[in-house]
A = this chain, B = another copy of it.
Amino acid sequence: MVIRDKIFSTITSIFRRHGAVTIDTPVFELKEVLTGKYGEDSKLIYDLADQGGELCSLRYDLTVPFARWLAMNPTIQSIKRYHIAKVYRRDQPAMKKGRMREFYQCDFDIAGVYDPMLPDAEILRITTEILDSLDLGTYTIKINHRKILDGLFEVCGVPTDKIRQISSAVDKLDKMPWEDVKKEMTEEKGLPEEIADKIGQYVLKKGGRDLLKELRSTPELAANASFVQGLDDMDLLYDYLEIFEVIPKMSFDLSLARGLDYYTGVIYEVVTEASAPKAQKSSKKETSKPANNDPDADRSNDDTIGVGSIAAGGRYDELVGMFSPSGKGRVPCVGISFGVDRIFSITKARMTEEVRGNDVDVYVMAFGPKGFTGMVKERLQVCKTLWNAGIKAEFTYKVKPKLMNQFSSAEKNGVPYAVILGEDELAKGVVKVKELGLPEGHPEKDGVEVKLVDLPQEVKKRIAQRGDKESAIAKAVENVTLEEKN
């Protein structure tokens, strides 16, 4: 939870830097609100018991509840919101044991009628700010556009009623070789082979602005209105992304399709080296579920952000309108979901330092000859003084604790300072402040005497200095690492 908290606070502070506010939507939705929004994954929706009243389900993601909320609040025509909360899926409904999955998602959305691609660009900028701060290693933001895909399928001759199916087959190219995807299109979904081959010519392409240019100069594509509209959007988006300095992270990837039905414009998905699934060499049939049965791995198996990705999203201009009875509340939206559990797994695996158990800066302890009182009241008194000064402090809940036990409690949580009370010292109005973990021979190894009246101030000074020292060390290490890289 310490690591997870750190991830939450990093993400939250970046959302707020961009002017977002948080909105809390309920964990329940009417069953009908969720029906028909998630394609074939709808079977994973968890229903509440009918104890008399409306039929409700637990939220499956944070996007549909947000859209429903916007539709119910038509006075809100624009908002930037974030929401960190749990979503719920029934794990393998066919299983005997009804195991449930609950995991965190962390969403950011911009709703409102705006000029094209400005909010979309800011979302991608925010994504890079977050991923850079979380230090997850190399990552790529794959990007595509639903109108480009739709145009492409039209040009290739895919029948309109097959577009969604073919689209979801194409989406599997990140974990299946082309030959298997083609087989799914032709054998399972009945697409003529020549159409599949034509699709293959295009969807295996990836690149940057060069690819946009290449596609624009392909006559048959340039003749399709939907395709060109998508290209225009992408060109404008790239203009803005260039200013935001995020181009090096982007990969325009024609195979990215995203499973969910509600996207209408730009779509994107973030993969890291650690999260990317390896494309299978064999042509053995693969299911969308990973084979891993470890319950911990399961927790991060968040299909809405795509298998193997750590964040995903896109533009959904029609979803709010679906919940608006009058049709008035058709607010266009664009957003992204971060898979916090998957980010957590990667962060944890990359961590070299031990995580401290808590935040405490000072452990207040007492020391005296055998049979001494334990000075419990004096320890409470000193703790109170420190708390009053806003200092994080702890003590042992024993009237007569052993010194060793007090030290080991402090060390267990990595508490940096001990304030040690002794009867003789206290009679002189002093206590000992000792930095824990100093090397032998250090001049302050045995601690320094501090007047009780100066204690809060002295401790604060030391905590601040230690903070400065630590960031200086972190900076030095970073510089060395950078030099090594260059």
Residues of B within 8 A of A377 (CB): 239-240, 243
Within 8 A of B (CB), among A12-56: 16-24, 26-28, 46-54, 56
Interface residue? A121 (CB, 8 A): yes
Let me know if A457 is at the binding interface, CB within 8 A.
Answer: no
Q: In the assembly, what is the distance between CA of A203 and CA of B102, in Å?
A: 46
Q: What 0/1 pattern do residues 363 to 396 of A give for CB contact below 8 A with B?
A: 0000000000000110011001001001111100
Whether A97 and B27, one on each chain, are in contact in the complex, defined by CB atoms closer than 8 angstroms, is no
Q: Mark A217-237, 1 if CB is under 8 A from B, else 0.
A: 000000000000000000000
> How far apart are A192's CB and chain B's nearest CB, in angstroms?
40
Stretch at the interface among A262-270, A308-316, A354-362, A429-437: A354-362
Please state if B93 and A52 are interface contacts (CB–CB under 8 Å): yes
If A114-B397, A377-B239, A392-B17 touch, whether A50 touches B49 (CB-CB below 8 Å) is yes
Question: Does A411 make an interface contact (CB < 8 A)?
Answer: no
Nearest-neighbour CB distance to chain B for A102, whole angstroms, equals: 6
Q: A17-B392, A384-B125 are in contact. Are A23 and B1 (CB under 8 A)?
A: yes
A1-B17 contact in complex given A118-B376, A398-B114, C-beta closer than 8 Å:
no
| A residues in contact (CB < 8 Å) with B | 1-2, 4-5, 16-24, 26-28, 46-54, 56, 80, 86, 88, 90, 93, 95-100, 102, 110, 112, 114-115, 118-119, 121-122, 125, 129, 239-240, 243-245, 357-360, 376-377, 380-381, 384, 387, 390-394, 397-399, 413
Contact A26 B380, beta carbon cutoff 8 Å: no
Q: Which residues of B have CB within 8 Å of A4?
A: 24
Q: Choose from B20, B48, B97 the contact partner of A47 (Cβ within 8 Å).
A: B48
The answer to whether B53 touches A46 (Cβ under 8 A) is no
- State whether A96 and B53 are in contact (beta carbons under 8 Å apart), knowing that A46-B48, A48-B48 are contacts in the complex: yes
Given A17-B390, A244-B380, 15 additional A-B pairs, CB 8 A: A2-B21, A16-B358, A17-B387, A19-B359, A21-B358, A27-B27, A46-B49, A48-B48, A51-B90, A54-B97, A112-B397, A114-B398, A119-B397, A243-B381, A243-B384
In the bound complex, CA of A33 to CA of B51 (Å): 19
Q: Which 6 A-B pairs have the closest CB atoms?
A: A53-B98, A114-B397, A47-B49, A118-B397, A19-B394, A19-B360
A20 touches which of B49, B244, B358 (Cβ 8 Å)? B358
Can you list 29 A-B pairs, Cβ within 8 angstroms, ordered by A?
A1-B21, A1-B23, A4-B24, A16-B359, A17-B390, A18-B392, A19-B358, A20-B358, A46-B51, A47-B48, A47-B49, A49-B49, A51-B90, A51-B98, A52-B96, A52-B98, A53-B97, A53-B99, A56-B98, A112-B397, A114-B397, A115-B399, A118-B397, A118-B399, A119-B397, A121-B380, A125-B387, A240-B380, A243-B384
A48-B46, A115-B399, A118-B397 known; A19 vs B56 contact (CB < 8 Å): no
What are the residues of chain B within 8 A of A1 when measuring CB–CB?
Answer: 21-24
Query: Is the CB–CB distance between B51 and A47 below 8 Å?
Result: yes
Question: In the complex, which residues of chain B have a beta carbon less than 8 angstroms from the beta carbon of A23?
Answer: 1
Q: Is the CB of A380 within 8 A of B56?
A: no
**Across the interface, which residues of B come within 8 angstroms of A46, CB to CB?**
48-49, 51
- Please measure, in the bound complex, the distance between the C-alpha atom of A20 and the C-alpha atom of B52, giving whole angstroms: 41
The reply to whether B380 and A243 contact each other, CB–CB distance below 8 Å, is yes
